[in-house]
Amino acid sequence: MGGRSAREQARARRTELTQTSLQCKLTGMTVPANASESTRLDELAAVTKEYATYSRTAYGFAFVVTGAALLGTQTLDVVTRSLWARLSYLLLAPVWLLLLTVARRYYQRHGEVVEREQRVIGRGWMLGCVYFVSAAEMFVLGSSYGRGSWPGPLPAMLATFGIVAIPVLAAEVVRGKIDAAVTLTLIFTSMFAAFPLVPAAKDGEIDSLDPAISIVRAGAMLTLSVFAIAIVVAGVRQHVRHRALQRRLGALNERA
C-alpha cells in the first residue's frame, strides 16, 4: 500500500473544516485551517471568562483565610469574652482587603483580565451585603443595648456609618479595581466603627440577660458563622478550579 496520491491529499485538505467551520478554505485565509480551530475559539472564550472571574468574584485562598480568621475570631470572642477579641472583628476588614489584592495578583499572574459585570452577580453581592450589614448592626446594637454603656449619639452615628460602609465598600472593591483610596477609606471606617464597641465591652462581659437581646446576638453570630463557612467553601472551590484553568490555558498556548 503506497501513500495517498497528491490529488487525494489535496482533496483531503479541501474537505477539512476551517477555523470558521467552513468546508473549504476561503480566499484571503492566510493560515492553514483545521477542524479544531472553531472549538479552540470557544475554549478561548470560556477560559478567558473563567480567568476574568479572578478579578472580581473569585478570590480563592483570600476567601479561605478570611473565613477561617472570622471563625477563629468568633471562637475567641465566645471563649474569652474580651474586648480585644471583639476589636479583632474590625481588623478583619483591612486584612481581607489586603488578601484580595494579593489573591488577584496570584491568580492573574498571566496578565490582568477584568471580568464583565453581570447583573445577576451584582444583585447577589448587594443582597449579601444588605444581609451582612443588618447582621453586623444587630450584633453591635444587641450587645450595647440595655447595658447603660451606650456611647452617645456621635460615636453611634459613626459606628452605623462604619458598619454600613465596610461591607458595601468591600463589595464594591470585590466587584471593581482595588485602589489605595478605597482601601484607606475602609481602614478608617473600621477605626470609626471601633469607638462604640469599646465602652460596650469594657467590662469584659458582653452578654445580656435580656432574652430578646440574646436572641438577636445569637442570630447575628450564626449569620457570621454561616458567612464564614460559605466563603471558605467558595474559596476552596475557586482555588481548585484555578488549577484546572491553568492546565487549560497551557493547553491553549501549546495548540496555538
Partner 1 sequence: VTEPKSPALSGLLDVDRVVHEPARLAILTVLASAEEVQFKFLEEALGLTRGNLSSHVSKLEEAGYLTVTKAFEEKVPVTSYRITARGRKALETYRAAMLQGLGRGKG
Q: Does 30 help bind partner 1 (rule: CB under 8 A)?
A: yes
**Smallest distance from partner 1 to CB 62, Å:** 20
Among 1, 6, 7, 111, binds partner 1 (CB under 8 A): 111
Own/partner pairs, 75-80, CB within 8 angstroms, 24+ separation: 78/221
Q: Does 45 help bind partner 1 (rule: CB under 8 A)?
A: yes
- Calpha distance 115→117 (Å, rounded): 6
Query: Closer to partner 1 at the Cβ: 41 or 154?
Result: 41
Mark residues 112-151: x for contact with partner 1 by CB under 8 A, - for none.
xxxxxx----------------------------------
- Calpha distance 163→93 (Å, rounded): 11
- Calpha distance 91→35 (Å, rounded): 55
Q: Which amino acid is at 247?
A: R
Residue 14 in grid coordinates: 479541501
Tell me if 87 sits within 8 A of 159, measured CB to CB: no
Length of the chain: 256
Among 6, 181, 209, 254, binds partner 1 (CB under 8 A): 254
Q: Does 181 help bind partner 1 (rule: CB under 8 A)?
A: no
- Calpha distance 25→11 (Å, rounded): 12
Quickly count: other Cβ atoms within 10 Å of residue 202's Cβ. 12
**Smallest distance from partner 1 to CB 180, Å:** 13
Among 25, 47, 57, 98, binds partner 1 (CB under 8 A): 47
User: Which residue, among 169, 204, 168, has the nearest Cα to 77 in the 3D structure?
Assistant: 204
**Smallest distance from partner 1 to CB 183, Å:** 16
Region 49-108 residues binding partner 1, contact defined as CB under 8 A: 49, 51-52, 108
Q: Does 172 help bind partner 1 (rule: CB under 8 A)?
A: no
- 235 backbone φψ class: left, alpha, beta (φ>0; ψ -120 to 50): alpha
Among 110, 123, 202, 237, binds partner 1 (CB under 8 A): 110
3-state secondary structure of 36: coil
Mark residues 9-28: x for contact with partner 1 by CB under 8 A, - for none.
----------xxxxx--x-x
- Calpha distance 103→109 (Å, rounded): 10
Instruction: Give the range of 72-80, 198-206, 212-220, 246-254 binding partner 1 by CB under 8 A.
Output: 246-254
Residue numbers of the site for partner 1 (CB under 8 A)?
19-23, 26, 28-31, 37, 40-41, 44-49, 51-52, 108, 110-117, 249, 252-256
